[in-house]
Amino acid sequence: MSQSERSFVPLSIAVLTVSDTRSLADDRSGDTLAGRLGEAGHHLADRQIVTDDVDAIRAVVGAWCRRPDVDVVITTGGTGFTGRDVTPEALEPLFEKRMDGFSAIFHRISYEKIGVSTIQSRATGGVIDATFVFVLPGSPGACRDGWDHILKDQLDYRHRPCNFVEIMPRLDEHLRRGAGRSA
């Protein structure tokens, strides 16, 4: 099989909505992400809603990142500047590697749609426990933009010239390398 004939590799993706006011019944942003990842052929590993609380966010995302059946975590909500918006504060300190390009590209795409209002978002991404974590704003439009213009392609093994799927097996190689050394 040539590189251009790669088969799709379905991923297991968990979706977390961070909100003090939403429930599963009215979580349009979570619905948007769950629907789009399903349409792309991926599996929804889990879906939850937590309040805007650093410990609650860390507990859910940390547990998902330790699960061998979760490849990617996407959060929505809590990326603004109000006193309750704490998703970046909860997750960025846990990032083993930060993905500055995700934020930059998200803001470029967002700027084309909402202009300078994009500066009111602190969308971010990184790696926690060899799991990709993406932090999106809490609007359905922002979730559509993040998925349709970035994540859909980067989470597709067929996407060229490169994608996140092909490097997933190597995200924890620093841990494996260290485990093989004797003291």
Half-sphere exposure for 126 (CA within 13 Å, toward CB): 18
Radius of gyration of the chain (CA): 16
pLDDT tens sequence across 17-62: 999 999 999 999 999 999 999 999 999 999 999 999 999 999 999 9
Q: Note the pLDDT tens digit of each residue in 60-87.
A: 999 999 999 999 999 999 999 999 999 9
Per-domain residue ranges of the chain: 3-179
| Residue 106 in tokens | 């998200």
Which amino acid makes up residue 122? R
> Which pLDDT does position 182 carry in this prediction?
43
CATH no. for 3-179: 3.40.980.10
CB 86 within 8 A of CB 58: no
**Ranges assigned E (strand) in the chain:** 12-18, 43-50, 72-76, 97-98, 124-128, 131-136
Give strand pairing partners of 69. Answer: none
Residues 61/127, Cβ–Cβ less than 8 Å: no
In this prediction the pTM is 0.92
Residue with tokens 């805007």, as numbered in its chain: 52
Sheet holding 97-98, edge to edge: 43-50, 12-18, 72-76, 131-136, 124-128, 97-98
Instruction: Work out the percent of the chain whose per-residue pLDDT is above 90.
Output: 89
